Amino acid sequence: MSDSARQPFELDGEFIGFVGHTEKPKYIHLGCEERVMQVKLAKNLRSLLATTLEPGTRLRVSGRAKLERRNGQLSLKAERVALLSESDGTSVDAELSTTPGSDRIKILVCQKSKCRKRGGQRIYEAIEAAVRDRGLQAQVTLKSSGCLKRCSSAPNLLAGKQRYKSVRLKDVSAILGEYCVI
């Protein structure tokens, strides 16, 4: 299983500035209740926000938070940024978000011999059924794959950039829960 869990977050605050390259900044600093939060931007938001935001702009940022168990640090990744009105904090019409389909998670399930013998096909079918039953077709792309190079710990799958080894049927719900709003 993964060493960290992803949870949705939403922050209101004042845009302080960018971190990284000026053309496509990777992070923003957001002032929230006397704290400065560093928020990673989704790739397709970077160039758009670089030309749109000015320091002092009030924002509502939402996305996924991840707590790293190894070092206890919280990392935030923005999927949506909305401009807030100065007076009452309500959202104005300008909302910037990742393009449709870009927030889909791609899950690859190995179907080569060892993974298949150890239940890879059942894992694929269980994920397929869970996605269908929970109505997650818009959030998940499921595909069979060739060898994922971890044959000794079969069955294997790749969800986003995270590798999972020795996957069992009972793990399917937890894996989907890490990436999808259920």
Comparing 19-23, 92-96, 154-158, 167-171, the range with the smallest average pLDDT is 92-96
Residue 125 DSSP SS3: helix
Nearest 10 degrees: CA dihedral of 177, 104, 16, 30? -10
56-65, 131-140, 158-167: the lowest-pLDDT one: 131-140
The string of pLDDT tens digits covering residues 122-145 is: 999 999 998 888 888 877 889 999
Q: Are 82 and 59 in contact (CB under 8 A)?
A: yes
Go through the domains of the chain in sequence order and give each one's CATH number: 6-97 (2.40.50.140), 105-177 (3.40.30.10)
pTM above 0.85, yes or no: no
